[in-house]
Each structure stands twice: as C-alpha cells, then as structure tokens.
Structure 1
C-alpha cells in the first residue's frame, strides 16, 4: 500500500483525464458555492441525466440562498417532486434559513462552518469547500469508494466505520492539495463514467497501469460490503373519495417517508389485507360504512429500504358527504386541475394517472 500512496502520478493522471473528458454541466460553468451545493444535494441519490432538468428548474425558481429561504416549504417540495428522498429538499430549505440568519445570506466558506448546516455532511461539505473555495478536503462517495477499493484492492467493507475512516484517509493522502476541486470532481467523474459498478471500461481508464483490479482481472470483487440491506414490506391501501368533483387528500406527517407531501386517504398495514378487512378498516376510519368500494389498480413501489405494495380503491359515499379528518389527519378537497399545486409522491402521481387514464404529467 505504501508504494501506491507515494505515487505522485495518481492525481496528475486523473486530473489530466478530467480536463479532457469532463461533462459540460451548468454547475461547472458557474461554480458558485450556492450552485455547487444545490447540484451536490440533487445528485446524492440521483443520476446526472435525471438531475439536470431538476437542477435547472430549481435554480430558475430559487436563484440564490435568500430566494430559497423566502419560499414556502410546499413550494420547495413541489419543485423537488419526482426526485424522491424528500428530506434533501426539507434540509435545503432549513439550511437556507440558517445561512440567512447566521451569515446574512452568504454561503459560509469553510468546511467547519458548512458541515454545521442542515443536510450537509462530510461529503457535501468537502465538495463545496474544495470546488468553490479551494479547501483541501477529499470527497468520498460511492464512486470514490469503488474507484479506490478497486485500484488498491482494499478488502475493508465500505459500510463499516473502520472502512469509511480508511477510505477517507486514503482519499486525503492522494488529494492534490493545490487543486482539490478538480481532483475531487475527477474522482467522482471517473467513477461515474469509467469505473462503473457493472461495466467498468478499464481499457480507457487513466489509472489502469496502477490499478490492482485491472492487473488481477477482478474488478467485480470490489468494493466489499459487510452486510446486505434488508427491506421492509409495507402495504398501502389508498382510497379515491370525491365530493362535488373534489378529491380528498391529506398531508403526510413527520417521521416517515414523503414527509410534508400530499396523498390520498390511506390505510397502511404490515401485511396484505383481504377485501373484507379493507372495507372494515375503512368503515372504522370514516365512522360509517361506505356505499361501495371498488378496486382500481395495484402497483409496487421500490425504495432503498422499503418495498411498498400499493392498491387504489374508489369509494362511493352518500351525496354531500365530506370529511374533516381521516385517521387524525386534516382532509383537504381539491379539483383535479389543482393537483399540480400540491407536491405528491411519485407513487400517487402514477396511481392517479391510471385512475384518470392520463399520463402522470397531466396531473
């Protein structure tokens, strides 16, 4: 390992490759700390191809920290709709408030200050500090884990504290402290474009002459993980209830996925319910028996740690029947044409699209 750490050609090779092969992305054209921050948060769980349109729209709606802080949380969530992992949007909004209150709307320029903002951890703080301010902090994300694990045949699991500390120290050892921003972006770009999980293009990799995995022909042995992610199964039973052509929706509360987003009336179970059980639980929640309940569609929605088995049911109630609350949540009635004013989980968009026989974007 020591001989690899002493190789001065590592940083030179990847930065030279990056200067020739880097993608033309808007946050690289304008590497202000705010633009770097927004791009890094969007790309945490999103591929560049999907995130690019969201980034451009987000920047057009909230061009600076102050405009983001002054927006309502619902407007921020609406701009984020479809990206998933909505805690990212809530943390962006909270951090914007912190920047306005603590720094008069100017992004702090040190790693130590950045890491104290909501939603900014070691990776994001290092990215902003190095790219926007030239501070020598190495970024370590999934791309960097994979690149370093393969290059140096590191068998420490990346999902353990020991492994994370090792890779962070290794990345900082290799960091070009005179050009940390380009070094970090080169590491991430090389992992995203060349040293990919399924089909690494080793033949064009600038590190192939110093890569153990290339020499031994075992890139798929790295990186190592100590455990597999276990997924929780959840069963969501959604109900379409309309009154005077107005659709009943409720807002999701804290402590769960899609916090702050809107959805249809919901009964959840940790196991599949029979039709009789569905009607019984719905009747208890409505405090009366519906005139009819008809099944419309089923759909599976896969998240990182959860498998959601969703079904949609149309509910017929007596004329002029209106709800004030449903399972202790306030009910709002809205027309289909106004659904675009409410941030909805992607799952609800898909279910309603099938219910109304429309493409999701029409909603």
Structure 2
C-alpha cells in the first residue's frame, strides 16, 4: 500500500527554536517512516515580506537546513527541497489565481491577522496577499493528502480545498487532490516565549534556539517568566500562564514527578529557581545531541547544499508531472 503524501515546511527567516521543535520538527522525525514526506524551505514565501532584504533569506536557508538535519530528518527518507528552485510552483500559482477573487483573499482570517500584525496598511505587498494561493500550489504540486498545521492555519487548508474543487469542476477532470489538515497533538502546540508572551520569535528576543550553547540555554531558562506573585519560596504559586511549567509540560517525560512538583508549587514551599534548574537539566539533555549533530553538519556545508540540490531536483520532477496534468486539463499543452 502506498504511503500518504505529507507536505510541510518553514520560512527561512531565522534559526529554528524549541517552539518549532516541539510543535512540528519532532513529529516530522517520528513520522518520516510513516509518510512520503516533502519538506520545503519556503524561501519565496519568506521573500513576500523580506524582498528588500534577500540576504537574510539566503543566510537562513542554510541555517534551517542545518536544523532539519540536526533534529534527525533523514534525506534518505524525506525529500528536503527549496521552494524557489521549482519554477513549476510559480506557474501553478498563476493558474490558481485565475480561480480566486480578491475579495476571497482579503477574507482569509490568517492573512487578515498577519496583515494587522505587520502593520502593512497600504504598503501591503501583493505577493503577501496571494501567498495562500502559493501555498495551494505547493500542496497540490505533490498531491499531498496530509498537511501538518496549527489551528491558526486551518483557513489556508480550506482555501486550498476550494481551489482544488474549483479547478476539478471547471476543467471537468479530477487532477488535483484535496489535502487534510493534521493538527498537533495535545501538549505539542505553540510554546510561548521565555518572557511569557504568546509568540516565540527572533524579533522579540524571547526564543531558545536549537543551536544555543549550554550556557545560553541556562541563562535564558533562569530568566524565564513565572508567577509574578510568587515572591517568596513559601508563597503559593500559580501554574496558569507560568512559562516554566508550560515548558515542563512539553518536555518533561516523568509526568509523575512533574505532577508532584506542580502540587508542591501550588501549596507553597517550592522556589522558582529550583523549578528552573530542573527545566534546564531537561532541556540540556534534549538539545545536546541536536546541537552536536548540528556542529558536525556545519563542517560539511557543501554536503548540506548537495542534499538541498538533490531534494529540489526530486521535488521538481514530481511538481512537473502535476503541472503537465494541469496544463492538459486547461488545454494549453499546445506543443506536447
């Protein structure tokens, strides 16, 4: 029985952090035997709001590739590719744009929220507005049936389904395949930043990166946001919005000990420093082998680039087959 096809990826706007790891990377590694996985470094999508700073994308493309290999993604099992190296995706995007109205693009809740967050107003790049259509091209090019996303990305999958239905209906051929969203398991969703803010990001300087040194990790953990009213050790503490315990829920495998610590913290008598030291020990153990593998791959950058090149060639061949079928359905394979 053929494996289901999975498509996922990341924008190369910075090194990947433990939020990426717990939210998606770890699951990708665990599932790389289960699915026929295509993992995309979405450089073109990153350029939609970084077009004036392409050097940022070029540098971080390699950083993301290093993080992928460091966490254990195996190029022999998954296809890691670079979005811009597949021109077929651009043509698919063009064909799909003819099936989507401007009003529909503006209604996409994910895009609306991101436009608001970035304060684009009238300076909104056209490429950013249409990136849900570009994502539809990415997904359908590989006929992916499984796309791991967070809750906030469900509207993107719905828009892809709409495009698939429109295309297949208009051209009366079942060429494109509808994808299904694969939501994160409970407890493996988005991690807050170490400052307690909802989003972990480089711009907010509140992330722990997979490549951070042991000293940097310890310093960041010891600065983490906890219960601001838990001033003395004997004070009862709250777990709600307490970043340290949120991270422990995600990374601690000894759930019995963790529940005992939570109860102790609630009733008082357990200091923040002790809890942070425990979290630091857990994170150091989790991240040490990842960091060590990353260091080894950093010594073989040419080898890493070759992996990306071969993966892009493999992915392009698949996308080209889909594009041929799309052209055939539309009736523009004039000189086949």
TM-score of the alignment, normalized to the shorter chain, above 0.5: no
Q: TM-score, normalised by structure 2?
A: 0.25
Tell me which structure has the larger Cα radius of gyration. Answer: 1
Q: TM-score, normalised by structure 1?
A: 0.24
Structure with higher RCO (Cα < 8 A, 6+ apart): 2
